[in-house]
């Protein structure tokens, strides 16, 4: 098996999983865009690996495959960071919701007693 077929198989599997998840509405709209874009990039690189060589040469990188790894890592970094930001926002919401719920429950309780 060549490097090219391995890349192609990985890319196709990845794309298939993402399309399946999107179709089943398991991914939020914005995440759908992110992952569809990633899937398209992976597929394109899987089919035309020589693209990387051209871009790498243009950017002056002597070993082009490292370019894919660096770009991939950067994208993952952005993804994880945005996930943490989102998680913090949700944590805040959940905490405030819990407090409101406790207060409303106590109010209902007091009303029921009157």
Partner 1 sequence: MTESHKSTIPASMKTAVIIPALNESGTVARVVSEAIEVIGHHVFVVDDASSDDTAATARAAGATVLCMPYGSGAWNSIQAGIMFCMQRGYQRFVTMDADGQHMAQSIRVISDCAEATRANVVLGSYPERGSRGRRLVWRMFNRISGLGLRDMTTGLKCYDRDAAGYLLSSETALLDYQDVGTLLVLRRRGMSIREVPVVMCMREDGCSRVFSSWLAVFEYMLKSMLWILSDKIMSGTDNDHSWETYHDV
> Binding-site residue total for partner 1 (CB under 8 A)?
20
Write out the binding residues for partner 1, residues 71-110 only, by CB under 8 A.
88-89, 91-93, 95-96, 98-103, 105-107, 109-110
Is 30 one of the binding residues for partner 1 (CB under 8 A)?
Answer: no
Nearer residue to partner 1 within complex by CB, 59 or 114: 114
Min. distance of Cβ 90 from partner 1 in angstroms? 10
Tell me the two tokens of residue 83.
């996930």
Min. distance of Cβ 31 from partner 1 in angstroms? 21
Tell me the two tokens of residue 27.
């991914």
CA distance 55 to 57: 5
CA distance 41 to 51: 11
CA distance 32 to 48: 24
Three-state DSSP state, 75: helix
Min. distance of Cβ 91 from partner 1 in angstroms? 7
Question: Smallest Cα–Cα separation from 68: which of 49, 87, 84, 83?
Answer: 49
Task: Give the residues lining the site for partner 1 (CB under 8 A).
Answer: 88-89, 91-93, 95-96, 98-103, 105-107, 109-111, 114
């Amino acid at each position: 098996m060549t490097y090219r077929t391995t890349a192609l198989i990985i890319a196709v599997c990845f794309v298939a999983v993402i399309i399946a998840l999107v179709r089943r509405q398991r991914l939020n709209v914005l995440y759908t865009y992110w992952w569809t874009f990633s899937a398209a990039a992976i597929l394109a690189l899987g089919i035309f690996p020589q693209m990387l060589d051209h871009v790498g040469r243009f950017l002056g990188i002597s070993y082009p495959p490292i370019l894919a790894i660096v770009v991939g890592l950067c994208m993952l970094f952005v993804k994880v960071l945005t996930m943490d930001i989102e998680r913090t926002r949700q944590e805040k919401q959940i905490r405030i919701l819990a407090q409101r719920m406790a207060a409303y429950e106590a109010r209902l309780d007091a009303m029921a007693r009157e």
